[in-house]
């Protein structure tokens, strides 16, 4: 259904490429599923693993709600529809999956597995919960459970040795996981567990592929690959080099705005997914999985989080904690959260200053106005701690854009990119103006010609729309960018005023 553009016009300074005018359209706009701040379904909060929570953490006190103590470490929990799904980190010990009421921690159901080497973090999607149980070849499986009862739906075997895994990636009716006797990647049908493919990859564990824009991405031992999600066929690969430091990756890829952000052994990388090439690199001894939100990337380095410009990698600041930061920063519209094994830190996203501190450490999940810490306290031991977050002090909208990689389409030919605009705030945006500008770089200059001026209707809180941007391809466009400048006239007072979202380089 057509939703948003009141008019599309050729604004003054419409670009000329050679002797031909750029023919550009955008739309029709169609509605997406609304932003669901009541759920955190998997590692990184979705199959693209951005680590972003589309909502406001708020300024004020983080209030204790409940805790459950267990005899084992707990891995990052998944949350959906007021239910917390939890599994333990264990070594040939008791293996289980629990469902808890998110409001008070009471147990709704529990499934006990046979004793095994590893039970791994859960992913919840739709009415199913997915978890891998690892116990060497012949006794390693991907399990699907009914989310409301804990009854198994199906169990799919896959090859393995003694491995641990990140939470399964669920997208496009499929479940993607790390596995294989000598390393690799599997795809399974989400509904019945039928194996769709296996791809042999280097023998590393503790990673999972990422899904974005209809393609699947793996990153193992310094090589990034783009795959067809139906059969894992490789579209392209990019070798970045790799310094071996063990047989566990302990990371995956965060993907947004047509770019993949990842930590290699020699630094932080941004990969343009249109070209399959390095957009920028920032050298450093980083670790884990970056988080990306708006125009910034957040990456762990020791007991700190380093902040970088998402478009050129330039250093913008440092959030200083203590101890080794775990897994991935968590970024909201207004805050940066990260934790060590014993402490959690909440920083202001704009000022990079400390807002709050908690004497509990572990892996973080944010959903439905609650912060869940799966980890430990020096006095109380291991368990899950739940807190109520302050929330927004005023009702504000917040515009977020995402621009997928360019695709060459048709005999003309044209290049297409899917544009998504979301209001992650809690107030309507009101009508606003956006621009599409043509640029030689990723910086908006006053001389960058306007391709289109867009009059956009108001977006309600949580509303998200998508439309296809179309350019008539011309060889003179190669290497240029289109800049999506949301709220170009400053009509909307937002939580985060960063509104420039560039495409990948046109090819």
Say yes or no: 149 and 208 in one domain.
yes
For 204-257, write each residue's pLDDT tens digit: 999 999 999 999 999 999 999 999 999 999 999 999 999 999 999 999 999 999
353: domain CATH number is: 2.130.10.10
Strands 123-125 and 344-348: unpaired
Say yes or no: 345 and 448 in one domain.
no
Is a pLDDT exceeding 50 seen at residue 117?
yes
17-21, 185-189, 313-317, 346-350: range with lowest mean pLDDT: 17-21
Our count of domains for the chain comes to: 2
State the DSSP H helix or E strand holding residue 6, giving kind and residue range, or none if neither.
strand 5-9
- Residue 94 in any domain: the answer is yes
- Residue 37 in any domain: the answer is no
What average pLDDT score do residues 149-177 get? 98
Is a pLDDT exceeding 80 seen at residue 379?
no
Cα–Cα distance between 251 and 298 in angstroms, integer? 14
- Residue 99 in any domain: the answer is yes
Residue 44 tokens read as 């990184």
476: domain CATH number is: 2.60.40.10
For 58-98, write each residue's pLDDT tens digit: 999 999 999 999 999 999 999 999 999 999 999 998 899 99
Q: Which of 330, 308, 329 is nearest to 317 (CA)?
A: 308
Say yes or no: 257 and 327 in one domain.
yes
Say yes or no: 189 and 223 in one domain.
yes
242-256, 294-308, 376-390: range with lowest mean pLDDT: 376-390
Residue 429 tokens read as 């945006």
Residue holding tokens 């956006």? 434
Residue holding tokens 């953490």? 57
- Residue 491 in any domain: the answer is yes
What average pLDDT score do residues 322-338 get? 93
Q: What is the 3-state secondary structure (H, E, C) of 59-116?
A: CCCCEEEEEEECCCEECCCEEECCEEEECEECCCEEEEEEEEECCCCCEEEEEEEEEE
Could you tell me the pLDDT band of residue 6, with boundaries at 50, 70 and 90?
very low
Say yes or no: 338 and 402 in one domain.
no
Among the three residues 388, 416, 451, which one is the final residue of a domain in this structure? 388
- Residue 507 in any domain: the answer is no
86: β partners: 98
What average pLDDT score do residues 121-128 get? 97
Strand ranges across the sheet with 184-189:
169-171, 174-178, 184-189, 195-200
Q: Which of 62, 59, 2 is nearest to 27 (CA)?
A: 2
pLDDT, the chain, mean:
92
Among the three residues 388, 403, 438, which one is the final residue of a domain in this structure? 388
Say yes or no: 202 and 122 in one domain.
yes
Cα distances from 78 to residues 109, 125, 235, 273, 383, in angstroms, run 15, 10, 31, 29, 15
Burial class (CB in 10 A: 0-12, 13-18, 19+), 96: middle
Say yes or no: 288 and 405 in one domain.
no
195: β partners: 188
- Residue 38 in any domain: the answer is no
pTM of the model: 0.94
Secondary structure letter of residue 136 according to DSSP:
S
Could you tell me the pLDDT band of residue 397, with boundaries at 50, 70 and 90?
very high
- Residue 63 in any domain: the answer is yes
Say yes or no: 94 and 52 in one domain.
yes
Q: What angle do CA 251, 257, 262 make, to 5 degrees?
A: 20
Say yes or no: 159 and 195 in one domain.
yes
Say yes or no: 18 and 96 in one domain.
no
Say yes or no: 118 and 249 in one domain.
yes
Say yes or no: 351 and 482 in one domain.
no
Cα–Cα distance between 88 and 65 in angstroms, integer? 21
415: β partners: 408, 471
Among the three residues 334, 366, 388, which one is the final residue of a domain in this structure? 388
Domain of 277, in residue numbers: 43-388
């Amino acid at each position: 259904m057509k939703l948003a553009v009141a008019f599309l016009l050729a604004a003054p300074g419409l670009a000329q490429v050679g002797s031909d005018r750029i023919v550009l359209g955008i739309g029709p706009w169609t509605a997406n599923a609304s932003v669901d701040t009541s759920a955190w379904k998997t590692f990184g909060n979705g199959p693209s693993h951005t680590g972003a929570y589309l909502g406001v953490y708020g300024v004020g006190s983080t209030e204790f709600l409940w805790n459950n103590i267990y005899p084992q470490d707990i891995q990052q929990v998944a949350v959906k529809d007021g239910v917390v799904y939890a599994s333990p980190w264990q070594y040939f010990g008791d293996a289980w999956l629990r469902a808890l009421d998110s409001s008070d921690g009471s147990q709704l159901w529990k499934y006990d597995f046979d004793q095994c080497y590893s039970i791994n973090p859960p992913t919840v999607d739709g009415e199913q919960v997915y978890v891998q149980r690892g116990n060497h070849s012949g006794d390693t499986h991907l399990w699907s459970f009914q989310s409301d009862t804990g009854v198994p739906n199906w169990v799919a075997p896959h090859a393995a040795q003694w491995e641990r895994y990140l939470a399964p990636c669920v997208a496009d009716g499929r479940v993607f996981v790390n596995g294989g006797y000598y390393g690799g990647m599997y795809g399974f049908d989400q509904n019945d567990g039928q194996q769709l493919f296996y791809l042999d990859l280097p023998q590393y564990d503790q990673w999972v592929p990422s899904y974005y824009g209809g393609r699947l991405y793996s990153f193992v031992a310094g090589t990034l690959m783009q795959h067809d999600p139906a059969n894992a066929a490789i579209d392209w690969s990019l070798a970045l080099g790799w310094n071996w430091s063990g047989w566990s990756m302990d990371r995956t890829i965060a993907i947004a705005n047509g770019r993949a952000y990842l930590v290699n052994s020699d630094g932080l990388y941004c990969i343009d997914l249109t070209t399959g090439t390095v957009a920028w690199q920032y050298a450093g001894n980083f670790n884990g999985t970056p988080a990306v939100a708006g125009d910034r990337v957040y990456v762990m380095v020791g007991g700190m989080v380093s902040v970088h410009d998402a478009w050129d990698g330039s250093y913008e600041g440092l959030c200083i904690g203590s101890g080794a930061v775990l897994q991935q920063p968590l970024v909201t519209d207004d805050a940066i959260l990260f934790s060590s094994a014993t402490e959690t830190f909440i920083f202001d996203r704009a000022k990079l200053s400390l807002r709050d501190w908690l004497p509990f450490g572990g892996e973080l999940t944010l959903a439905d106005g609650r912060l869940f810490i799966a980890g430990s306290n020096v006095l109380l031991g291991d368990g899950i701690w739940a807190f109520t977050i302050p929330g927004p002090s005023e009702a504000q909208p917040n515009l977020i854009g995402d621009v997928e990689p360019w695709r060459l389409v048709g005999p003309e030919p044209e290049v297409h990119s899917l544009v998504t605009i979301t209001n992650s705030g809690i107030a309507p945006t009101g009508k606003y103006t956006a621009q599409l500008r043509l640029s030689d770089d990723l910086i908006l200059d006053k001389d960058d010609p306007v391709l289109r001026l867009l009059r956009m209707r108001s977006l309600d809180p949580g509303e998200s729309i998508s439309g296809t941007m179309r350019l008539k391809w011309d060889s003179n466009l190669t290497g240029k960018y289109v800049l999506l400048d949301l709220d170009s006239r400053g009509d909307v007072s937002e939580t985060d005023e960063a509104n420039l979202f560039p495409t990948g380089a046109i090819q």
